[in-house]
Structure 1
Amino acid sequence: MVLLCKLVLQIMQEYILNKVNKLRTQKSITQEELAEKLKVSRQTIIAIEKGNYTPSVLLALKIADFFKLPVEHIFKISYDPSIKTQGHGE
């Protein structure tokens, strides 16, 4: 059961897209500055932007609050495993 849960989480991470990099660059702030505001490491921001890490619900809400956007505007589930980049394919 634990192995199945880990597999499901791994698959989910591949399918969750985000606009964090796009929004951060539009605001002209560095990864370090965003990390400081959210009280996480720069490595966490890098991993989120690359799609290698899915933030917790709490962190996703903090990101949404920082950008003053609904969380669903920043994060989106994709059913196409070939899409792993930011921007939701826009």
Structure 2
Amino acid sequence: MFANHIKELRKQMNLTQAELAEQVGIGRTALSKIENGAYYPSAKTMKKISDVLNKPIGEIFFNTDIS
């Protein structure tokens, strides 16, 4: 299972899955699968998510600690 911190960061920014998905350019279902670790996003999608959440890719997708 692929772990990430998208859900926590998304909630900190008061964004819904639909809002974040739209800003990233993917479907809400795809975002849900990424958040739940069921789908590993492409590098392009990781970059878009990091741009919207204003966090480095490593902090979102590879860091075990979230602050």
TM-score by length of 1: 0.67
SS in 1 for 2:62: strand
SS in 1 for 2:3: strand
Gaps of 5+ in 1: 1-13, 78-87
Higher strand share goes to which structure? 1
Code of the residue aligned with 2:50 in structure 1: it is A
Task: Tell me how far apart the structure 2 counterparts of residues 76 and 17 of structure 1 sit (CA, whole Å).
Answer: 8
Deviation at 1:55, TM superposition (A): 0.4
Structure 1's consecutive aligned runs of 4 or more residues displaced over 2 angstroms after TM superposition are: none
Deviation at 1:69, TM superposition (A): 1.1
SS in 2 for 1:44: helix
Code of the residue aligned with 1:40 in structure 2: it is I
1:30 is aligned, of 4, 11, 16, to 16
Are 2:6 and 1:20 equivalent residues in the alignment?
Answer: yes
Are 2:49 and 1:63 equivalent residues in the alignment?
Answer: yes
Gaps of 5+ in 2: none
Identity in percent: 35
Q: Deviations over 1:8-37 (max 9, x none)?
A: xxxxxx2x3210000001111100001110
What's the C-alpha RMSD, in Å, of the aligned pairs? Answer: 1.6
TM-score by length of 2: 0.88
**Larger-gyration structure (1/2):** 1
How many aligned residue pairs are there?
66
